[in-house]
Chain A
Amino acid sequence: MNAIETKKLTKRYKDLTAVDGLDLAINEGELFALLGVNGAGKTTTIKMLSCLTKPTSGDAYLNGNSILTDTANVKKCIGVSPQETAVAPNLTVKENLELMCGIHGFSKEKKERKTAELSEQFDLGQILNKRAAKLSGGWQRRLSIAMALIGEPNILFLDEPTLGLDVLARHDLWEIIRILKDKITIILTTHYMEEAENLSDRIGIMKDGHLLALGTAEELKATAKTEKFEDAFVAIINEGSEVVI
């Protein structure tokens, strides 16, 4: 079954078409990476899929729920970790997790269980009582992803999760994303080619609101006749014509 299916999904802002007739199907449990240069339409696509922005035309279905007519049900099945570190700075790590539990309407028992579960999964135990503002960038991103998982989503959106992190923090976060893989569907946007290549089942490359290429990293390299994935990406972007595999 498809976790996400978009049908001619389009977003226009006055004279600019940010996303143009996007047709895409993402399988359940898949880790799908969306790549593209700045302004390609990746974040707008995620914003539409997470009900933050209404499409100008077209529709998308998340677990069968329309983003136009079933937003309440869509919101129940998604978790979002935005590009910026979206945490409450003066709350401790534990309070940030509890805040999300409260927002999802969990009982006291479930709140305690869920907080303990995610603290263990993300190794947050040592910093549970530390204020979020005092954490390093890497720990804030960990917390951000943990917060996105509180609502037990089937679909997780990670918008440039490792942006600005050092190599070690990035690799730590990759390990966490690998652990989540297969359990839930993950949509990842990134500027790091090796991140997309190492983590994703399939990759979509966008340019000027269009999906130019779609396939596994190996398939995209073979199509672009390059050895490195980064070269394949550059070739596809420069070629500009659609290569859907």
Chain B
Amino acid sequence: MRLLAFSGRTAKEILRDPLSLGFGLGFPLVLIFLLSAIQANIPVSLFEIQSLTPGITVFGLSFMTLFSATLIAKDRESALLQRLYTTPLTARDFIFGYTLPILPIAAAQSVVCYIAGIALGLPVTVTIVYAVLFIIPVSLFFIALGLLCGSLLGVKQVGGICGALLTNLTAWLSGVWFDLDLVGGIFKKIANVLPFVHAVELERAVLGGNYVAIFPHLYWVLGYAIAAIALAVYFFLRQMRRQ
């Protein structure tokens, strides 16, 4: 009951923010259509719809970090969290209440991206459903990262770090915009030890029905998701105690 009330509030705060909707849903859609238009004129295998849609879907999830971190940072700065810490809500209610409602939003965003992909020629197969399901561990990573950043940073810092830095890192180091082999060297090595490229390759493998190829990408994603959740819970509880 308590968790439900708090979760409902989290969802309403995010869905009623026009910037959230604009960036979370609108921006990935614009990118899919724009890059597909480029592909139609100058064919690049990277921008073929089977390859592009999973990439943009993962890129869109970086906005979940921004939503989650901004909400928590705002709640800290406005003292709403301080008020709620004096109520019977428990630490578990706060952590689940901030993370769980964003999961269906992330899934809905992925569904919208795949619908756009279908409109642009992505073949309708059951693997699209699996691809949406495999978005869950990727989403957990991005949402937990939001909880972590929201617990550590102020609203302005969240805007800079999650809004600008993370979205750019996700874009550059995921192999969505350009083939990482083209850059190679240290850049590729760094990209390969971060989760973004693995999340994209995981989605591409699932969408392509190439289930053997989901490994080791799934391990990378799960490992980062678990680490992000553990760090997020630790730092959220720490700021809670510091109140």
Which residues on A are within 8 Å of B, measured CB to CB?
47, 50-53, 72, 75-76, 78-91, 95, 98-105, 131, 144, 147-148, 151
Contacts and interface: CB of A to CB of B under 8 A. Distances in A.
Nearest to B88: A75
A86 B74 CA distance: 10
B2 to A, nearest CB: 5
B41 interface: no
A90 B13 contact: yes
A103 B80 contact: no
Contacts of B2: 102-105
What 3 pairs between A and B have smallest CB-CB spacing?
A: A102-B5, A84-B79, A82-B79
Nearest to B16: A90
A86 B85 contact: no
Contacts of A90: 12-13, 16-17
Contacts of B88: 72, 75-76, 103-105
A205 B79 CA distance: 25
B86 A52 contact: yes
Contacts of A83: 79
Given A84-B78, A103-B2, A91 B87 contact: no
B85 A52 contact: yes
Contact of B243 (A47, A98, A102): A47
Interface residues of B, number: 25
21 contacts: A53-B243, A75-B86, A76-B88, A78-B86, A82-B79, A82-B82, A84-B77, A90-B12, A90-B13, A90-B17, A95-B9, A98-B5, A99-B8, A102-B2, A103-B5, A103-B6, A105-B1, A105-B2, A147-B83, A148-B83, A151-B87
Given A82-B79, A88-B9, 9 more contacts: A52-B82, A72-B88, A80-B82, A80-B86, A101-B5, A102-B4, A104-B88, A147-B83, A148-B83
Given A90-B16, A102-B4, A103-B6, A51 B86 contact: yes
B83 A80 contact: yes
A107 to B, nearest CB: 9
A82 B83 contact: yes
Contact of B80 (A72, A87, A148): A87
A51 B90 CA distance: 13
A78 B74 CA distance: 24
B79 A86 contact: yes
Contacts of A80: 82-83, 86
Contacts of A99: 5-6, 8-9
- Most chain A CB inside 10 Å of its own CB: which residue of B9, B80, B82: B80
Contacts of B86: 50-52, 75, 78-80
Contacts of B85: 51-52
Nearest to B7: A102
Contact of A91 (B13, B83, B89, B243): B13
Interface string B16-40: 1100000000000000000000000
Given A53-B243, A103-B88, A87 B13 contact: no
A83 B79 CA distance: 8
A105 to B, nearest CB: 5
B84 interface: yes
A56 to B, nearest CB: 14
